[in-house]
Amino acid sequence: MIFRPKERPKKVEYKKSADGKVCLVTGAAGFIGFHLSKRLLEQGEIVCGIDNLNDYYDVRLKHARLSQLYTYKNFTFLKGDIADRRFIRKAYMGAKPDTVVHLAAQAGVRYSLENPDAYIKSNIVGFYNLLETARRRPPRHLLYASSSSVYGANTKVPFKESDRTGDPLSLYAATKMSNEIMAGTYSRLHKIPMTGLRFFTVYGPMGRPDMAYYKFTQRFFAGAPIRVYNNGDLAHDLYRDYTYIDDIVEGIQRIMESPPGGDAPHRIFNIGNNRPEKLSDLIATLERSLSRAVGREVKFNKVYEGMKPGDMRVTCASTEALKEAVGFAPKTTIEDGLQKFADWYVDWYKQK
């Protein structure tokens, strides 16, 4: 049975731990938020999740993720919008978190061209509301989602955390840059240990349907051609640093347990694979993965189009700082990761 929460329960019974270690995860029904929450819950941690369950993509997938989390007795869920200051203050003060992992945001580069208001409301106002609340009762560590998109027009690869980030190619990227600046300011003023996480193209089972690998799969099963945004120019192929969801979760967990110190306790890490994949290679690998999942040969029908506004041609993460700080580097290959996604996708949609 799929759990569907009420709009906003009047009285919430927050789960508590004996040592006071509660993790507040915003965006808990989202892709990364779900997988992180599930890992923490499996390990016996107390998790309070927040999500507004918006319809940016199929809400049934969000409900399905949430229904899995709700099977754990150490999970509390609140439906609400972080842009609602009254809601976030009430939720935060009720949970009294030891650690906050802020993943709630309006995602998507291209959608920011269509609906910029959603990005200002969620990514700017929502993050401000959380910071204002957190300064009244600082957590031991506050982590927040940034993005590889902050590197914008930077052509130097791999991207290092010390690289210039002043040329965003989309409003989405600009909001994530703003988050990093806001976090640094609040960290200095209020001595809140914070870590920004620059995610690089996260993929895997129960992922976001707006991502290329997911859309390619959907279009194949719908009998439609896939759209490839490089005009078929293999000499100038697109590269993406695809990072499997389990690696992302492992990196977040290690960082959670290692808050920064000092007078200005704010830092930023890339969480990527340091192995960018050509778009053409991704497509070929996904075809092979789906072929194994369905037991027959899969070949995409391709339609080539030009680059879309806001898109970056190459993303590639330097992971040296992350490895030095917490001894971790992602390890899942694109072949293994896409096979796990393909197997999940075929099984999931058989049930629909």
For 78-102, b/e burial (b = at least 16 CB within 10 A) is: bbbbbbbbebbbbbbebbebbbbbb
Q: What is the pTM of this model?
A: 0.92
What's residue 169's pLDDT? 87
Which pLDDT belongs to residue 6? 45
154: its two tokens: 């930077």
Residue 260 has pLDDT above 50, yes or no: yes
List, in order, residues 6 or more apart from 112 with CB less than 8 Å away.
106, 119, 170, 171, 172, 175, 310
Please determine, for residue 287, whether its predicted confidence score (pLDDT) is greater than 70: yes
Whether the predicted pLDDT of 313 surpasses 90 = no
Going from the N-terminus, what domains does the chain have, and what CATH number goes with each? 22-200+244-271 (3.40.50.720), 212-240+276-315+332-350 (3.90.25.10)
pLDDT of residue 351: 63
Q: Is 235 helix (H, G, I), strand (E, B) or coil?
A: helix
- Confidence at residue 4, expressed as pLDDT on a 0 to 100 scale: 47
Residues 6+ apart with CB under 8 A from 23: 40, 45, 46, 47, 48, 97, 98, 99, 100, 101, 256
Task: Give pLDDT, residue 80.
Answer: 96
Q: What is the pLDDT of residue 43?
A: 95
How many other CB atoms sit within 10 Å of the CB of residue 120? 17
Number of neighbouring beta carbons within 10 Å of residue 73: 8
Tokens of 227: 């759209």
Q: What is the pLDDT of residue 7?
A: 47
pLDDT computed for residue 211 by the predictor: 93
Which one-letter DSSP state was computed for residue 195?
E
Whether 3 has a pLDDT exceeding 50, the answer reads: no
| Helical packing angle, 334-350 and 212-221, nearest 10° | 40
Report pLDDT for 237.
75
More confident residue, 285 or 10: 285
- Residues 288 and 88: their CA atoms lie apart, in Å, by 45
Alpha carbon distance 260, 71 (integer Å) = 33
ω before 9 within 30° of 0 (cis)? no
Q: Angle at CA 112, nearest 5°, toward 176 and 226? A: 115
- Give pLDDT, residue 107: 87
Alpha-carbon distance of 111 to 301, in angstroms, equals: 25
Q: Indicate the helix (H) or strand (E) that contains 346.
A: helix 334-350
For residue range 174-229, list pLDDT tens digits in order.
999 999 999 999 999 999 999 999 999 999 999 999 999 999 999 999 999 998 88
172 is catalytic: yes
pLDDT at 1 > cutoff 70 = no
Q: Considering the chain, what percentage of its residues have pLDDT values greater than 90?
A: 70
> What distance in Å separates the CA atoms of residue 272 and residue 291, rounded to the nearest whole number?
27
Residue 8 · residue 78 · CB < 8 Å: yes
Residue 151 and residue 168: Cα distance in Å, rounded? 7
Mean pLDDT along residues 256-265: 89
Please, which pLDDT band fits residue 298 given cuts at 50, 70 and 90? very high
Q: Residue 78 carries which side chain, given as an amino acid letter?
A: L
Q: Over the chain, what is the mean pLDDT?
A: 90
Least confident of 4-13, 20-29, 250-259: 4-13
pLDDT of 35 > 90? The answer is yes
Among 92, 111, 119, 172, the active-site one is 172
Q: Is the pLDDT at 247 greater than 90, yes or no? A: yes
Cα torsion through 279, 203, 60, 8, rounded to 10: -130
pLDDT, tens digit, for every residue of 50-74?
999 999 999 999 999 999 999 999 9
- Name the region of 115 (left: φ>0; alpha: ψ -120 to 50; beta: rest): beta
pLDDT above 90 for 76: yes
